[in-house]
Structure 1
Amino acid sequence: MIYNIKTGTFEPIYDALDSRQLPPDCYVVTPEQVNLISASVTGGGAVWAEDGVIQCSDSSPSAYHVFDLKTKKWVISPAKQTAFFAEQKDSLIAQLANKTDALKAGLLVGYSQTEIDSFYRQEKEALAWQADHNAETPMLKQIALLRGVPFEILVQKVIEKSEMFAMVIGAIIGQRQQLEDRILTATKPEELETIKNEVETWQLPNLS
């Protein structure tokens, strides 16, 4: 393909045509360059020639950036910097919320939805029976009967599991809130980048 830097258009290249016969402001470009040039043009960037070679900026990092042809860098005006920084914070908070949900989902891998829905009732019956052996425990009695596990042992396992879940969920919530507090109080892009890396590498806590 040929790219006309003056008109901003692409044209087919013909076998008989070589770089010495190109019209003014035209350059032969590879398929990879075509994609980069297209991204630059449609993404608010710039395309220019430097030492006879076509160059391009690629697409803008955000709606707030403009490309400075003198420095060949994307820049943000001071007036737009505040709005861009606020948008970055909102995006990172949303990413943090998604990661929190993913960690919780990972904690429940292997359990059916029916079991998950029963956790609260199982815990409620187990705690009630622990406090009063005359308490009604229809769900746990059926589970113990069909599973072939002594009722007292099942109660203890349910309580242990609920306490473990509570500890892990508490750790997840506490970590999410700590990270969100740091996002909200951040004053520099470097701080957000550090927090973003922490969010991406965040794993379930090991409380064993």
Structure 2
Amino acid sequence: MFTGIVQGIAVVEDVAAATGLSTFAIRLPENSAEGVDIGASVAINGTCLTVTRQTGNILFFDAMQETLSLTTLGTLEPGHKINFERAARIGDEIGGHLLSGHIHTTANVIKILRPENNVTIWFEVPDEWARYIFAKGYIAINGASLTIGEVDGNRFNVHLIPETLRATTFGVIEEGMKVNIEIDSQTQTIVDTLTRLGYDSQASKTTNLGSASS
């Protein structure tokens, strides 16, 4: 499990592609890889990967084709910067919200606004995932636990303070980029439960009747 509190920015040193598999060599900041064991879990841009070997501050990870196709990891190249978080331990402070490191979908960065002392970023998700996104709810973007600002259909924004921009790769994000999205598990459970109980269909019927009578 992870907390969504990004522990730093790492750099992709090398990507070795094989059939159905890619091996990433990722350099963590000085001292950030201390105590890492082979088999440990590390979130790379929010994606839970397993450490396969270590050389100093460089950790190696294997990602299967399924992971590469469902996340943004397939687009990583040497020199790219990524957010990382080592797995939470019992007793750690949960400063964000609990994350599994299993990416649900990706989102497109469609607009970046830069008012004084903060940044607002608008994202667009596939329509089927918009049902889990609510204003003031939690969401994980590239492994960072964030609070959703406004929601407009399948688009939403987040407001970032300077510290978040400094400590994560959001400081260099650009329009047109893709990011990894992990939906809040509690929100997903509630929405799916209400759907199974038929509340979604009842709301749809009410909406349709209202439209027909107007």
- Give the TM bin, normalised by the shorter chain: under 0.3
Taking structure 1 as the reference length, the TM-score comes to 0.22
In our comparison, the structure showing a higher alpha carbon Rg is: 1
Taking structure 2 as the reference length, the TM-score comes to 0.22
- Which gives a bigger RCO, structure 1 or 2 (Cα 8 Å, sep 6+)? 2
More strand by share: 2
